[in-house]
């Protein structure tokens, strides 16, 4: 699975943001035609996104586009534009109907936003549709629809968050956590990132460039985790060379599954390092 720690929503009606996004350290960009764009700018935004895709983005960036729901005035035209422009993926908002998702299997990977109670209830069917590559939490819509509240621990969302992660894992999909709206609050944002990581998300969607450094750091293995992974592998190799079926490292039992975990940590760390030059070069403050 590619490195997908951060996914920045970029409003499709803001040429300055579309331009700026090219140089930002987001693993994915989600060019947005849906909720970031007011109705009167929908048509212009579609043209601006088409032009941005035509001009292209850096090679190591995955570029997705979130279209308007197909039930809206704009959805069908958005889809036609995207079939021609061929981004790396199409993000469907408010996904809840597996038949509609099946009808969108058009050769471009599909990402589903899970942000309605019906979407949560039908997750297994949605995640199983051929062509679906990832699930994206839409926590703002979901909080509103559930009549829950935005709390620091996101208690009202835990069922949906965990069910989405579980379904993504069951079907081999990438899974991204929802946005943190208070984009100047770095401490609260770091806690929300850590919670998402600990729940099993691969990364998190963000709304502002100033959130990228934190999300990229939290969803990457720490230096301590990398060190531990190396030592686990070394302890395992020693144990196997001695003919043992399991190893003990730092007083803990190590089995094959822990070896696989350690290998995954090192794989992610290598991918982060490969991006690192680009990230260290960016000293811009927001
Ligand atoms: C939240 C914002 C409206 C804040 O905008 P602003 O006050 O203009 O921020 P700054 O002045 O601090 O911006 C500094 C520079 O960064 C550029 N910028 C800002 N945001 C972005 C962005 N998202 N992508 C690219 N570039 C960005 C500005 O242009 C400034 O550049 P410069 O001119 O060089 O100084 C704004 O950040 C924003 O609009 N964010 C995105 C909002 C959005 O996409 N919303 C929809 C997605 S969230 C959602 O719907 C989730 C889900 O569906 C759910 O239900 O949960
Ligand atoms: Mg939404």
* CA-8 nearest atom, ligand 1: 23
Contact indicator for 143, 157 with CB cutoff of 8 Å:
yes
- DSSP for 218-279? HTSPPHHHHHHHHHHHHHHHHHHHTT-SSEEETTEEE-HHHHHHHHHHHHHHHHHHHHHHHH
Q: How far is the CA of 82 from the centre of ligand 1 (A)?
A: 22
- Which of 218, 242, 268 corresponds to the end of one domain? 218
Please compute the mean of the pLDDT values over residues 227-236 and round it to a whole number. Answer: 97
Could you tell me if residue 1 is inside a domain?
no
Among protein residues, the one whose CA lies closest to atom 26 of ligand 1 = 17
Residues sharing a CB contact under 8 Å with residue 115, sequence separation 6 or more, in sequence order? 93, 94, 137, 138, 139, 140, 141, 142, 145, 178
Could you tell me if residue 286 is inside a domain?
no
Give ligand 1 pocket residues (Cβ under 6 A): 8-11, 16-17, 20-21, 32, 35-36, 113, 115, 138-141, 178-179, 183, 207-209, 286
- Which of 179, 201, 218 corresponds to the end of one domain? 218
How many structural domains is the chain composed of? 2
Q: How far is the CA of 239 from the centre of ligand 2 (A)?
A: 50
Model confidence at 106, pLDDT cuts 50, 70, 90, reads confident
pLDDT in tens, 147-168: 999 999 999 999 999 999 999 9
Q: How far is the CA of 36 from the centre of ligand 1 (A)?
A: 9
| Whole-number pLDDT of residue 279 | 47
* CA-178 nearest atom, ligand 1: 56
Cα separation, 148 vs 108, whole angstroms? 34
Model confidence at 96, pLDDT cuts 50, 70, 90, reads very high
ipTM score? 0.98
Residue 192 falls in which region: left (phi positive, over 0), alpha (psi -120 to 50) or beta: alpha
What's the chain's average pLDDT? 95
Cα separation, 67 vs 48, whole angstroms? 13
Q: How far is the CA of 37 from the centre of ligand 1 (A)?
A: 11
* DSSP tag of 12: T
Of the listed ligands, the closest to the CA of 9 is 1
- Which of 164, 198, 218 corresponds to the end of one domain? 218
- Is the domain of 245 the same as that of 269? yes
56-73: burial string, b at 16+ Cβ within 10 Å, e else = ebeeebbbbbbbbebeee
- Domain interval for residue 71: 6-218
Structure tokens at 182: 């208070």
């Amino acid at each position: 699975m590619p490195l997908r720690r951060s996914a920045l929503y970029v409003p499709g009606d803001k040429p300055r943001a579309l331009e700026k996004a090219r140089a930002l350290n987001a693993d994915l960009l989600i060019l947005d035609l849906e909720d970031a764009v007011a109705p009167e700018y929908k048509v212009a935004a579609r043209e601006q996104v088409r032009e941005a895709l035509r001009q292209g983005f850096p090679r190591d960036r995955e570029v997705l586009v979130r279209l308007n729901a197909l039930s809206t005035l704009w959805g069908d035209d958005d889809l036609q534009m995207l079939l021609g422009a061929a981004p790396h993926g199409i993000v469907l908002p408010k996904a809840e109907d597996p038949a509609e998702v099946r009808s969108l299997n058009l050769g471009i990977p599909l990402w589903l936003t899970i942000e309605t109670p019906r979407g949560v209830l039908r997750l297994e069917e949605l995640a199983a549709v051929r062509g679906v590559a990832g699930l994206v939490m839409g926590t703002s819509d979901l909080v509103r629809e559930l009549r829950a509240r935005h709390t620091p621990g996101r208690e009202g969302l835990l069922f949906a968050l965990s069910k989405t992660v579980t379904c993504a894992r069951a079907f081999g999909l990438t899974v991204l956590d929802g946005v943190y709206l208070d984009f100047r609050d770095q401490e609260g944002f770091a806690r929300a990132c850590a919670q998402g990581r600990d729940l099993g998300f691969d990364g998190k969607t963000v709304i502002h460039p100033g959130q990228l450094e934190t999300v990229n750091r939290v969803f990457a293995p720490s230096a301590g985790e990398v060190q531990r992974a190396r030592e686990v592998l070394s302890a395992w190799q020693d144990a196997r060379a001695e003919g043992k079926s399991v190893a003990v490292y730092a007083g803990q039992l190590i089995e094959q599954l822990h070896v696989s975990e350690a290998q995954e940590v090192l794989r992610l760390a290598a991918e982060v390092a490969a991006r690192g030059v680009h990230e260290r070069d960016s000293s811009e403050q927001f």
